Structures are given as structure tokens and as C-alpha cells.
Amino acid sequence: MSKKVLITGGAGFIGHTMAKYFASKGLEVKTFDLFQPPKTVGEHIVGTIMFPDELYKAMKGCDYVVHLAAVLGVARTENQRLKCLNVNTLGTINVLDAAVKAGIKKIVLSSSSEVYGEPAKTPISEDDKTFPKSVYAVSKLAGEEYVKAYHQTHGLDYSIVRFFNVYGPGQVAEFVLPKFIRAAMIGTPPIINGDGKQVRSFCYVDDAVEGVYLALTSKEANGHVFNIGNDRAATSMLDLANKVTASAGKNNLGVEFVKEEHADRKNAREIINRIPDISKARRILGYEPKITLDEGIARTIASGHIPESWTEQA
């Protein structure tokens, strides 16, 4: 009999891709989200993680939970700080309470590389200190600590995954890479905040969801935090913009630089270098990202699916 997994935030960019991947691996998938997506994998339940009873009903009969649901995006989390804290911390507590009540065997929590803040060194390992610079980062770190606490008080098995700049078809154009792609597709220069020297390492969504699957299904992963990203896809924002315009066949567009005071991500929140050390995930999970940055950009452009709003993602 196949195992059943509930994915909170399952109608979103990562969640929808994850549902399809999990189903291909033989898991019975249920998704839970605020809205009804145009396409679903398995049973979909419309609900909010702020209502514990809705969560419990959704989890009944499930073996596993992957908790993705959160308030995210630089502009949204900065403009709605209280909502970000409430949903990402209290919502996570609701998920954990429901998981215990429903007899869930294991939960995988989606966290973020934002918890590290500006690292003292790169690549960043899971043992490095966390220096969150934003309400969003604090909320994700709080969620991690609650998961660990519920393991101690209720015996709930867990793994935590810290995503590093996941991208791909269906990601809303509030994130840097789809924002660049959307600009190129409509023939406008990609807009870069600051000088474009900020470095990120981008992970294609298919690779990211495979990492979550490995963390979910491996007993050796229990009680561990894993960086999930691609350590071979580091690039500056300026180079990224040039890659995107070249891949879109729009080399003549150039780029547009925006000063900090007009940017979504202010200097106080900016992180200059963010590259993951994924040796732990390689060693324990056998995780290995396969999609190069150039290939991932080309796939995302070819999909033509770069939604403007959050509810268009799935």
C-alpha cells in the first residue's frame, strides 16, 4: 500500500511541481492551499494553515507532511511583517499540532537560506551560524525551532530543508530570475538592484523537489537540516541578467540599474554572497542537482509560464 503525503502550499510553484514528482515516485498525494489551482495532482483541499481543524481534516489518513505554505517574497514580507510572522510561525505551530493529532509519521519543513543572513564565508554549511536579517528569515528560523521542539515533546520525526534560490516554470515574477525572464520576454531591460555584484547560486525546481523527496523518504535524514540548492550554479546578478537576455535572443536589451532607495530589497536586507555547501545532502541523501543554470533558464523561457500574480502560479 502506497504512503500518503499532504503538501501544504501544494498549489504554489514548488508545491505543484513537488506533487507531480511525488506521484511519479508512487506516493499518494494530497495538496492543501488557499486557492484552487487550474490543475491538480490527486486530491486538493482549499484551506488555510491558520485554521487547525482544517489542517487536521486534511491530514487524517496521511503518513507524511511536507510544509511549504508560507508568506514569502521580499515585497510581501516587508510590507506585511505581522502577517508574515503570524502565518510562518503560528501557522507552522498549527501544522505541527495537527500532525501530532493525526498521527503523522514524519514532517519535512521548508525553510530558507535567508536564515543565514550575510555569511562569514562561502559556501555556507548547515553548521554555520544563522544571522537572519529580515522578519521573513526570523519567521523561518522560528519554524525550524518549533519543529525540533515537537520532535522532543511529541516524538514527531522531521527533516528541515533550506532552499537556495529555487527557480523554474511557474514561479511568480516577484523573484529575480523570473523577473529578468519576464522583462526579456516583453522586450525591456532586466532591472538590477544596486551594482549587480550580488552572487546567488540558483537551483532548478526539479532538482529541489528531488532533494525534498530524498529527505522525506530517508530514515537517515531524520533530525537533520539540509541545504538544498545547486553549488555549481553561482552567478552575479549582472551575469544572470546577461545570461537571460542571451538565452531569450535579446542581447541588445542591456540592463537597467536601480539605486537602493528605489529597490524592493534595501541594503539592510541585502545579502552579497549566498552559495550553498550541499556536501551533507550529497553524503546522507545521495542528492545531486542535475540541471545547469543555462539549461534551467532555457527551460523556463521555453515554458512561457512566468505568472505576474501569486494565484496564477500552478
Tens digit of pLDDT for each residue in 41-60? 999 999 999 999 999 999 99
Spatial neighbors of 306 by CB under 8 A, at least 6 apart, are 169, 171, 172, 173, 178, 181, 182, 185, 300
pLDDT in tens, 241-300: 999 999 999 988 989 999 765 556 556 667 999 999 999 999 999 999 999 999 999 999
Highest-pLDDT range among 1-10, 258-267, 280-289, 301-310: 280-289
Is the Cβ–Cβ distance between 253 and 184 less than 8 Å?
Answer: yes
The domains of the chain, with CATH numbers, are 4-167+202-230+277-290 (3.40.50.720)
Is the Cβ–Cβ distance between 164 and 232 less than 8 Å?
Answer: no
**How far does the chain reach from its first CA to its final CA, in angstroms?**
29
Among residues 145, 17, 131, 154, which one has the least CA distance to residue 88? 145
Residue that is written with C-alpha cell 519576464 in the block = 182
Above 50 in pLDDT, residue 314?
no
Among residues 83, 73, 115, which one has the least CA distance to residue 271? 115
What element of type H or E holds 69? none
Residues with a known catalytic role: 136
% the chain with pLDDT above 90:
85
Helix axis angle for 91-102 and 135-154, nearest 10°, is: 20
pTM comes to 0.95
Above 70 in pLDDT, residue 136?
yes
CA angle 166–310–138, rounded 5-degree value: 60
Largest pairwise CA distance in the chain: 59
Grid cell, residue 281, equals: 545532502
